Structure 1
């Protein structure tokens, strides 16, 4: 389910989940975020790492990828290059509009709706599966900047500090961390 496009401030455009480790997630009316776990009934929910590849090698690491967020503006950017993407297609749980997610510092708090607080932990690092979804998409979401450094565009990851229901059109408030701010790294 996707929100109307006439919203003023940062909003939730869409929410998605999947109980299986599929590449894409299904759009739903709302998702329930559970403190310390992630999205209820989602394959990536848990206190320890749930990513299939990472779990094989580091099964006891803390799950810093409980919630995956992508900015809808990425889909519009990629459409200019001929890619057709809908919310949930890249496996995100929350599709946002009006927030520069990729430039938030580590530790930023995203207050979503009346109750939910997600703490930003890092960038999502896309894998080769993205090219199986649409040929050439991996290169499009991993361009290089003017200095030759890779720019990862496939969203951010976070952990749930305060649970609750997230609905389409919920307002998102950004609270930057105090003190020195650290750029996001892959988690």
Structure 2
């Protein structure tokens, strides 16, 4: 199963939309360099499919762009929320492992306020960085079999 990277997104604060960047440097046991969610914990990197964003647009959320749901990596062609915890992904130069599917949205979420709903709690996933490296739009996402 393969997908591709649509965008790399970063923010300096938690709870806000992220801004697309040209490429991301992902650091082992940390996450995306310069991102507020980076650190030594189980939710270093967040991924959300463009397909999930498109669902929100179809429901009347208006124009949405990569990063609007505060995801670090916007994907395409792979249903990320169906990947089981423990799945390993080769994304660009990195090796990542899925640690969590969805999350509880915090009160006062800027995304939900702006968009009316947040798809991230249902369809976003989180990974840790097992091997760091550069990821850029257009890179392949490969699901590794054990």
State the TM-score, normalized to the length of structure 1. Answer: 0.70
Q: How many residues align?
A: 141
In the alignment, structure 1 residue 28 sits paired with structure 2 residue 21: yes
Q: Secondary structure at the match of 1:36?
A: coil
- Corresponding residue for 1:72? 50
Of 117, 122, 126, the residue aligned with 1:152 is 122
Unaligned runs of 5+ in 2: none
In the alignment, structure 1 residue 131 sits paired with structure 2 residue 112: yes
Of 119, 141, 144, the residue aligned with 2:97 is 119
CA contact 2:88–2:95 (8 Å) conserved in 1: yes
Structure with higher Rg: it is 1
- Corresponding residue for 2:86? 107
Q: Which has a greater percent of strand? A: 2
Q: Which has the higher contact order (CA 8 A, sep 6+)?
A: 2
Superposition deviation, residue 22 in structure 1:
4.3
Unaligned runs of 5+ in 1: 1-8, 48-62, 143-150, 179-187
Of 3, 11, 24, the residue aligned with 2:4 is 11
Q: Secondary structure at the match of 2:56?
A: helix
RMSD after superposition: 1.7
